[in-house]
A and B are shown apart, each in its own frame.
Chain A
């Protein structure tokens, strides 16, 4: 499985990771090698095998819908890099590239 530089750039964009040229090239080589190894799973016969998302699955875990104590607004904002008037503040979103 060989990963191209285009693949790396595409995935980095999906993952919101700005990579330098050198990083992208190293990752291209390493991901190819790791996926080559991991692709061995394709040889396993999984016909009619259900996928496992949780090994010990519970279903329909409910709790009573009661109001309980939670973080105050101040506590929730305490670690914010930038907060203003009780909100998280971010750089502009409109007109930003998609």
Chain B
């Protein structure tokens, strides 16, 4: 097996025991990028030279960087990296070089992890297919005529094609879980506040969370460990001790009560998704879990609530792109024209649509009917979860209603694209945790299907334990065709 084919956990152990050097691992990943990036287009920026320098520093052994030292990582290009261009895949920030690093980037840097590049995304993380990148589209490694999902499509495609051992994405309404599902990898959206948002280019501040996209559940636990924990630079960051997620994997799920969410596990699913999900339910039952169906009626309104709240927050957050302090400027005779022309030129169609939607739902006369109403409905979603968790320890559903779709299939109709996140937005609105784990290939198209496991806020440990037990029992080993190509 080539080094780039190994998991993060395996490589970390090999590096620690000095069976391989970080330089060898990093070089293997860089070579892999050179081989397949031209057919995948996962990266906005590649940073091989600084990754090599970091690997050498780790190999010099003068400093103990901790358990993940030397294993390279790729970051979604919405995570600020000091001195390295961070674009959010927008023309607005095409030449933006942050003067500081996001806390998550700084923590991985301090953990001795060479960063090999910044991955493509839907502009400002707004989208479900990575087709909204202002630069280029990213291909799904399982079928390059299809999208990798989004918005963290570059991160998921990089991990699935072997160009990254693991990566960080961000999730506002499914942007880690849905691309992980469509690319056949693991994606974990942490509880809101578990991972610092400092230095993430903001989309919807009450929803945004960074989290790992990895090849297996163990790696997700390890990478989450590296980024989780209180950060004084983020006032929404939660205080308190972070559990040992690696230790939490063991123990099995005998007796665990798992609820199948009726509203997002039945109607409207692709046949192959439904079939694989039902097999997953049976497998969990076989492992001793007590399975029951549970209804969370307000989930039917999840997309509606989300598309009133997230664009409202986005319209406010993106007001900062005014051509004054950083980013693009289009000159004009006065400052208001300069602002308006800069924004007209720098933002793509989806970002404009969301700014318009958000500005509308916040505007005088509509605030109470739309934004205010959606905030109250958000409370109802949280209450639905609380009710369900009286009877169940975890909730499950498919991670996405369909497998990876073709380029252009949903771009003409924004609403159809928005509905791709129907399984994911309730957890985001509740600020809770969820993970997508591969549960097989759909029989009609041979593409990966993801199982979504949702947990109470800050119960990542139970969620990871169930995900790990499921993964071990299923032993899903299929790889995209490109995996064997070199």
Contact = CB atoms under 8 A, between A and B. Distances in A.
B73 interface: no
A58 B431 CA distance: 13
A-side interface mostly: loop
A23 interface: yes
Given A38-B308, A41-B301, A55 B430 contact: yes
A46 B334 contact: no
Given A54-B431, A71-B100, A81-B329, A17 B352 contact: yes
B418 interface: yes
A58 B238 contact: yes
B357 A31 contact: yes
Interface in B314-347: 315, 319, 322-329, 331-341, 343-344, 347
Interface stretch (B17-25, B34-42, B152-160, B366-374): B366-374
Contacts of B369: 42
A21 B355 CA distance: 17
B235 A27 contact: no
B192 A55 contact: yes
- Scoring A41, A50, A82, A88 by chain B CB atoms within 10 A of each residue's CB, the highest score goes to A41
B298 to A, nearest CB: 7
B-side interface mostly: helix
A88 B343 CA distance: 18
Given A11-B360, A27-B352, A63-B232, A34 B338 contact: no
Contacts of B376: 44, 46, 49-52
Contact of B414 (A30, A40, A42, A52): A30
Nearest to A50: B379
B429 A58 contact: no
B99 interface: yes
A22 B138 CA distance: 28
Contacts of B193: 56, 58
A92 B356 CA distance: 27
A90 B303 CA distance: 40
A27 B382 contact: no
Nearest to A45: B380
Given A31-B360, A38-B304, A92-B334, A54 B339 contact: no
Interface string A1-43: 0010001101110111111000100010011011101111110
A97 B336 contact: yes
B236 interface: yes
Contacts of B352: 17, 19, 23, 27
A54 B206 contact: yes
Interface string B225-258: 0000000100110100000000000000000000
B301 A79 contact: no
Nearest to B362: A14
Contacts of A82: 329
Nearest to A33: B415
A51 B356 contact: no
A12 B356 contact: yes
A24 B286 CA distance: 55
Contact of B378 (A23, A33, A38, A55): A55
A48 B236 CA distance: 26
A18 B347 CA distance: 11
A38 B331 CA distance: 37
A67 interface: no
Nearest to B431: A55
Contacts of A71: 99-100
Given A17-B344, A38-B307, A44-B380, A93 B335 contact: yes
17 contacts: A3-B360, A16-B340, A17-B352, A18-B340, A18-B343, A23-B352, A27-B353, A31-B353, A34-B415, A53-B375, A56-B192, A56-B193, A56-B457, A61-B235, A81-B324, A92-B334, A96-B334
Interface of A: 3, 7-8, 10-12, 14-19, 23, 27, 30-31, 33-35, 37-42, 44, 46, 49-56, 58, 61, 63, 71, 75-76, 78-82, 88, 90-93, 95-97
Q: Which 4 A-B pairs have the closest CB atoms?
A: A55-B431, A51-B375, A79-B326, A81-B329
